[in-house]
Structure 1
Amino acid sequence: MLNPLRLPPVAALLILVVMAIAPLVAAALSLTINNSAEAYVPPQSPAAVFERELRERFPGDEVLVAAFAGEQLYGDAFLERLEQVVAVMQQHPLVERVLAPETLDHISGSVDGFQVEPLLDSAIRTRLTPAERRARLQADRFAPGLLVSDDGELIALAVRPHELENSLQRLEVEGAFLDALGQVGINDALVALSGQTPLDAAQLRATLRDSLIFVPATLLIGLALIAWLFRRWLALIAALAVMHAAVGTALLTLVLLGQPFTLVTAILPPLMVSLSVALLLHLYNALALVERGSGRHAGVGAVEGAGAEAAVADVAATVARSRRVERAWEAIHRPALFTALTTAAGLISLSMSEIPPVHALGQAAAVGVLMLYLLVAWVLPAIFARWDRGGWARPGRGINVLDAPVAWLRRLGMRRPLWVLLVTVGLLAAGAPRIADVEVESDLFRFFKADHPITQSNQLLTEKLSGVTALEVVFEAPSRGAFKELEQLRQIQGFREWVAGRDEVDRVTTMVDVIEEMHWGFHAEDPTNRRLPERGDLIAQYLFIYDGNDLWELVDRDFQTTRVLLNLNINGARQINATIAAIEDYLQQQPLGELDFQTAGFGRLFGDQEQLLIEGQIRGLLLAAGLIFVLMLVIWRSLSAALLCMVPNLSPILVIFIVMGLFGIWLDLATAMIAGVAVGIAVDDTIHVYYGYRRRRRAGRSPVWALARTFQHAGRAVVATTLILSAQFLILGTSQFLPTMEFGLLTALGLVTALLFDLLVLPALVMVTAGAWFRRSTAPASSPTGGQTE
């Protein structure tokens, strides 16, 4: 039989040190940070493939929108400084274009027909009074809702970056913009900063802030409770090393999977710290129980002496330590293996999600759990056998204080099993209808509280300018020149009129708008001619003499592909999908002929997450339940035992969804991970308890005795692990970032619920099912030779 004590202590120590340092350093040097919408879409999905193809022909829709207010908005002093900011940002290597009064095309009438000139550059500005400048912006076809509010009280600009690779680049663009404002002295006039770039930067700051606060906090909580429970320096040092190894292994796995650090995978470090504590606690509790059961051997502690007597004493102490560790290892290594496998199964269920960060989280966490098992079960024993010189059993202190509440709950479940089960079923049945109230929705702005700057900025821009959710409808024709034809342009015009009438659409921009402006300018700015020409040859003439830039962001130069740009005042994925569905239904009913259409842009990518969340949640829960059930069958080799153990592990998921429905908590990117994580962790305690019960039943003990003895041995560790894990996750609940807060609170709820089911419902189930049908699964291997003792 394999024995971890055969591993040389020095080799074990070297392995632990290397694993605590090397993976973490490698991950820190290689891990990228990217929280953009593209990071959450499968790269081979139709939407992602089309998005990449579209960006080869047209600029992206990611922007940084800044709005300014003040009494002198249209004065020379402010506009000159704004022009300086535009010039600085135009030179930034990550910026593709800045949409501002001086860079936007303005079409007007001229002696020769129409002309295209800047909307308001320095040359034009000098000819106009502040009031005339304001009027020019407000009268322009494209500036209202983009560069100026309807009431003229806000002036805005939009910084459009090149295709960015990660969130750090978005943070750089935002920082460069704010620096430019500070250098020219108009930062005080800034009243709103929103769009995908600032939103991603805000999420990055929140994620990093939470990581810097909560990873050390969860680590310190774990170490503090281990210190209180066991009061062993070696236990603390070993725990710290194991935590570092687990976190490093998980993050390095993330790197090897080619996935970035996102707000989803930011859960990995505190999660791995918590799982480390849970597994370590069972080993430490076993060491304490072995020592308490056998009494402290003379020589286990430090021995004073000299010469041969000291040498003999030292050998005796080493043998005693080795025997203590070996007995503890024999007690926990099988359930530790089982819990590692079932926890990994629960976590790997997250990989059923097609959302890449959720998928990667499950795989990375599962690898981290398996590494934890190897270190705790096969590396630490040799270290403790060689260098652990203190005592573990301290009656009345530390972990022993948990015996009383464990015994009370166990007795209640054993003495009143039917009442316990009836009350439990009644409560779950009463709450079950609330599950239907759980809404699948994601809103990135909702991740922040109402008083957060990004939330307030988004609200102001939506009220005064237009919504920042970008959606594109792309029309493609089979032949070149199709969108010079009047018939096709009228199709675009009809769609524009229909979609502009929807409440959630604040702004619509099409190539038809540009042609209408040319026609209006050509006819001396006659308002009745702000429409499409009646003749196709006139359209071709306009397009031939057009010398501006903005048209080519709406149609390609072959006039075979055109896009309609929409600004939506909604931010939720479900709402966006409803708009997309309405657009598709409308267009499918139109006589488009050979025209094809697709939706694209940030709105489409983000909206796809809703369906991915639903499908991933269903597949993940089924996989988690299936894998854990199969593992239970393998572990217990009994259908009845496997079914019984599934009850305390699936019920907490039911409770979590009931609470989500009761309090209106959405199923989104953060909460979609909770079920897999909770069931993966909760199953650990069930295995430790039921393993001890079955072992004693097979030794011939009665159900009552087997339960009582099992809870006396494993119950304290079960409670201690849940207390520590819950405390660590509750700390996450203090976050100002909603995904972190909801994940922490709901996971803690699931763990506490699982504990109550293990301590109260599991004993009741065992007592009720300990009849002839169930007894077959735990039949003793041989008749007991003694009384009801161990």
Structure 2
Amino acid sequence: MRWLRGHPLLALGILALLILLPGPILLQVNLDNAPESYFPEDAPAVTFDRELRERFPQDQVLVGLFTGSDLFEADFLERIDALARDMEADPAVERVLSVTTLDHIRATADGFTVDRLVDGRALDERSPEQWRERVLRDRFAPGLVAGTGGEALAVIVRPHALDNSLQRLQLERLLRDRIGAHDLEDELAAIAGHIALDVAQLRAMVKDLAFLVPGTMTVSLLLLWWLFRRPLVVVLSAATISAVTGPAIALLILLDRPFTLISAILPPLLTALTVAMLMHFFNATLHAAQRGHQGRARVEAALAAVARPTWFMALTTAAGLASLQVSSIRPIETFGLIGAFGVLVAAAVVLLLLPAIMGRWDHGDWLTPKRGLLLLDRVTALAAHLAIRRAGWVLLATAILLALAIPQIRHVEVETDLYAFFDDNHSITQATRAVESELSGVMALEVVFDGPDWDSLQDPERLQAIQRVQHWLDQRPEVDYSLSLPDLVAEMHWAFNEEDPDYRRIPDDPNLVAQYLFIYDGRDLFDAVDRDFERSRILLNLNAHGARSINALMDDLRGYLEANPPADLEWDMAGMARLFADQERLLIQGQLHSLYAVAAMITLLMLLMWRSIPLTLLSMIPNLAPVAMIFALMGLLGIWLDMATAMIASVAIGIAVDDTIHILHNYRQRRGRGSPVAWALARSFRRSGRAITATTIVLVAQFLLLALSDFQPTAAFGWLTAFGLIAALLFDLLVLPAMLVVAHRLSRASP
């Protein structure tokens, strides 16, 4: 450290490299918030889903909903048919489902045939009313591609496997372009589905980045100018923030990690943490200037005051973020790794590079504290007076507050609802409601059955066993629509027997079933069964979006299947609903493990710093209590523990401990010189109170910017973290000194 301070040009060069080198790498960022980027690659549900897609199409689709009173006129059906054929011609699209592409099984003189539900090339063969009646009487179209009232039709685009969110964005743009090209914009009511949701999240991420990154930077620089009124402080602060956030995001790219909505919190978070370190360094420089130090001596004096606590502050914050590595949710794990790296880079820049630059180019006297700083001094002095003179009352009030707050934690609900991530007025929310009100739910669940060998699913008993499971599912309120192999076999049997309703069932003769399946020449059959007739699936559209309700349905289904085994078939569940529901369990496990890890790591670091078990345990109280207050507020207000709020505890503990370190470091220094407890606390507040209060103001302002996000988890993360930091400041300014005073009194009173 001392050697580098003598080489300011080298320090300036390193700072410039940290700013400039990440530039070309940042251009390669992979913006990807697709669901697949969140799931652990080795999770059983992910492995099974990957295996299933080798035989069956994707379950993530893009739904275009069209409404009107003349949807069955030849002109409109012709345009819908042209749209479907145009979309299917694109290499990214595997199939398009619509009334003009869906199979229709009907009786003929010598058996049955499979043709298009609506033949786009023979629209004049029927009147609009006849086409309408044919569609609504079809067994499979209503609820899938047609509304039950006949005033809504859908085009469902089913793509090949898409690698990232940008490809989904391209697919949605393609659909919108083709809708415009075929003059269907007036009838378009909504574009929804999981692909549309992913695109909405991608747009929210880009919007947040465009607002939050410059917003947090601007707020930081304005507050630093307000506090210190030195152009060099503002310039170096801007350079330092760039030198921290750039390499951090570059590391994320080099590790081939996608940039998700979780990752989008990193730039404003690292900006806030960097400014916190800068605040302490510049405040110490101001104190040194007030004592008459100049140039390099001023920097040396500032570092002597803040270097050790700032390093420990960086280590504890990095430990809090690194604890997220235990999460199985990959973006949360990445968030912890990159955040910890960024914090350590910030400490290195602030404590190694800036002192050399400041020692060389910071000339002149620092101004006497202005009104803002004097106001902060009055606030901290008042807090110190209250904590020292009324220590017992402060601790009693704190105990009452915690006694009231902690029971609220049990009301915190673990829940993730992708469609609740946006407010009610958001376009994706309204589009989803429109599709679900006219057709069926957009959450896909698949119940998969495996037979013992090839062609085993042509056996009537096995098909009847699958059908019983489907009938049970159809009674559930969460299920809007279902389709299975038994449905198709029963439809063929019905058509073969002149559409007699008594024959709309699975035939008892396995040879007849085999014959039906052999002569079926449509496209829909192999959505429900593989070509070996060894694996089949029930396709379900659910109106449930929350992980808890989906998990409840899946648990009930498991119980039913275990109590009523489907013949000799093996079974499992797959699809987006299964992946999404399993994610909730991983979220809970990750949250608990992260809390244990961060508490253990920070306790160990505090023990290394204070070399005292009692002081270490005492110092953890004002850091763990704000986390309890955050969870209590979540329980009181009914805020869910989801992907974003699951990170708050680790982030809040990591940041809250910073103030504790600075206060205790100054307090122990003065106590070591023989100062009385009250005097040591008062002088510590004079030295560090202003910095930690100003730092909290900056951090709170920056996190409140996150609260302005349209994406609800990001907004909740922002304002809950801001609340936690305010609580941490109050605990550090009031509760920590009160505990030190009471502990000293008790030690003097004991024999």
User: Distance between the aligned counterparts of 2:488 and 2:174, measured in 1?
Assistant: 32
Deviations 1:430-470 (A, max 9, x none): 12221111110000110111111111121122222100000
Residue 101 of structure 1, CA deviation: 1.3
The reply on whether 1:455 has 2:423 as its aligned counterpart is no
Residue 322 of structure 1, CA deviation: 0.6
Residue 102 of structure 1, CA deviation: 1.5
Pairing 1:281-680 to 2, within 5 Å after superposition: 281-292=279-290, 294-295=291-292, 320-680=294-654
User: Distance between the aligned counterparts of 1:667 and 1:557, measured in 2?
Assistant: 43
Residue 704 of structure 1, CA deviation: 0.8
Deviations 1:638-691 (A, max 9, x none): 001111110110011000011101111000011111111111111111101110
The reply on whether 1:105 has 2:79 as its aligned counterpart is no
Residue 7 of structure 1, CA deviation: 4.7
Does the aligned pair in 2 maintain the 1:138–1:152 contact within 8 Å? yes
Q: Which has the higher mean CA deviation after the structures are superposed, 695-704 or 219-228? A: 695-704
Does the aligned pair in 2 maintain the 1:696–1:706 contact within 8 Å? yes
Q: Which has the higher mean CA deviation after the structures are superposed, 271-280 or 104-113? A: 104-113
Match of 2:231 in 1: 233
What is the aligned counterpart of 1:731 among 702, 705, 726? 705
What is the aligned counterpart of 2:93 among 67, 82, 95? 95
Match of 1:306 in 2: none
Pairing 1:10-29 to 2, within 5 Å after superposition: 10-26=9-25, 28-29=26-27
Partner SS state of residue 735, structure 1: coil
The reply on whether 1:682 has 2:656 as its aligned counterpart is yes
Does the aligned pair in 2 maintain the 1:21–1:244 contact within 8 Å? no
User: Distance between the aligned counterparts of 1:47 and 1:392, measured in 2?
Assistant: 61
What is the aligned counterpart of 1:152 among 143, 150, 153? 150
Q: Which has the higher mean CA deviation after the structures are superposed, 574-583 or 180-189? A: 180-189
Partner SS state of residue 188, structure 1: coil
Does the aligned pair in 2 maintain the 1:355–1:612 contact within 8 Å? yes
Residue 8 of structure 1, CA deviation: 1.1
Partner SS state of residue 717, structure 1: helix
Residue 125 of structure 1, CA deviation: 2.1
Partner SS state of residue 744, structure 2: coil
Deviations 1:52-85 (A, max 9, x none): 1111111110001111111221112212222222
User: Distance between the aligned counterparts of 1:185 and 1:330, measured in 2?
Assistant: 72
Residue 771 of structure 1, CA deviation: 4.3
- Aligned residue type for 1:196: H
- Aligned residue type for 2:696: T
Residue 5 of structure 1, CA deviation: 4.6
Listed as ranges, the gaps of 5+ residues in structure 2 are none
Residue 168 of structure 1, CA deviation: 0.8
Question: What is the TM-score normalised by the length of structure 2?
Answer: 0.98
Deviations 1:354-377 (A, max 9, x none): 100001100110000000011000
Does the aligned pair in 1 maintain the 2:465–2:567 contact within 8 Å? no
Does the aligned pair in 2 maintain the 1:289–1:393 contact within 8 Å? no
- Aligned residue type for 2:249: L
Match of 2:71 in 1: 73
Does the aligned pair in 1 maintain the 2:65–2:191 contact within 8 Å? yes
- 1:441 and 1:280, CA in 2 relative to 1: closer, same or farther beyond 3 A? same
User: Distance between the aligned counterparts of 1:94 and 1:245, measured in 2?
Assistant: 40
User: Distance between the aligned counterparts of 1:32 and 1:258, measured in 2?
Assistant: 8
Partner SS state of residue 147, structure 1: coil
Does the aligned pair in 2 maintain the 1:249–1:367 contact within 8 Å? no
What is the aligned counterpart of 1:700 among 635, 653, 674? 674
User: Distance between the aligned counterparts of 2:181 and 2:373, measured in 1?
Assistant: 60
User: Distance between the aligned counterparts of 1:356 and 1:105, measured in 2?
Assistant: 40
Partner SS state of residue 467, structure 1: coil
The reply on whether 1:210 has 2:208 as its aligned counterpart is yes
Deviations 1:200-232 (A, max 9, x none): 000111111011111111110000000111111
Match of 1:762 in 2: 736
Match of 1:310 in 2: none
User: Distance between the aligned counterparts of 2:676 and 2:23, measured in 1?
Assistant: 49
Residue 124 of structure 1, CA deviation: 3.7
What is the aligned counterpart of 2:171 among 164, 173, 184? 173
Compute the RMSD of aligned alpha carbons. Answer: 1.4
- 1:188 and 1:774, CA in 2 relative to 1: closer, same or farther beyond 3 A? farther
Deviations 1:26-54 (A, max 9, x none): 1x223212222221110001011111111
Does the aligned pair in 2 maintain the 1:109–1:523 contact within 8 Å? yes
User: Distance between the aligned counterparts of 1:216 and 1:362, measured in 2?
Assistant: 22
Question: What is the TM-score normalised by the length of structure 1?
Answer: 0.93
Does the aligned pair in 2 maintain the 1:66–1:156 contact within 8 Å? yes
- 1:696 and 1:25, CA in 2 relative to 1: closer, same or farther beyond 3 A? farther
Residue 4 of structure 1, CA deviation: 5.4
Residue identity over aligned pairs, in percent, reads 48
Partner SS state of residue 156, structure 2: strand
- 1:747 and 1:193, CA in 2 relative to 1: closer, same or farther beyond 3 A? same
User: Distance between the aligned counterparts of 1:650 and 1:345, measured in 2?
Assistant: 15
Match of 1:304 in 2: none
Listed as ranges, the gaps of 5+ residues in structure 1 are 298-319, 777-790
Match of 1:256 in 2: 254
Does the aligned pair in 2 maintain the 1:347–1:676 contact within 8 Å? yes
What is the aligned counterpart of 2:84 among 70, 82, 86? 86
Deviations 1:470-497 (A, max 9, x none): 0001111221111011111111111111
Does the aligned pair in 2 maintain the 1:325–1:385 contact within 8 Å? yes
Match of 1:315 in 2: none
- Aligned residue type for 1:126: D
Partner SS state of residue 92, structure 1: coil
Match of 1:139 in 2: 137
Residue 528 of structure 1, CA deviation: 1.6
Residue 133 of structure 1, CA deviation: 1.0
- Aligned residue type for 1:35: N
Residue 385 of structure 1, CA deviation: 0.6
User: Distance between the aligned counterparts of 2:503 and 2:679, measured in 1?
Assistant: 94
Deviations 1:609-665 (A, max 9, x none): 111111111111111111000000001000011111101100110000111011110
Does the aligned pair in 2 maintain the 1:207–1:263 contact within 8 Å? yes
Residue 401 of structure 1, CA deviation: 3.1
Residue 593 of structure 1, CA deviation: 4.3
- 1:609 and 1:116, CA in 2 relative to 1: closer, same or farther beyond 3 A? same
Does the aligned pair in 2 maintain the 1:101–1:147 contact within 8 Å? yes
Q: Which has the higher mean CA deviation after the structures are superposed, 440-449 or 118-127? A: 118-127
Residue 98 of structure 1, CA deviation: 0.7
User: Distance between the aligned counterparts of 1:561 and 1:7, measured in 2?
Assistant: 72
User: Distance between the aligned counterparts of 2:167 and 2:565, measured in 1?
Assistant: 44
Does the aligned pair in 1 maintain the 2:445–2:540 contact within 8 Å? yes
User: Distance between the aligned counterparts of 2:749 and 2:19, measured in 1?
Assistant: 45
User: Distance between the aligned counterparts of 2:747 and 2:123, measured in 1?
Assistant: 91
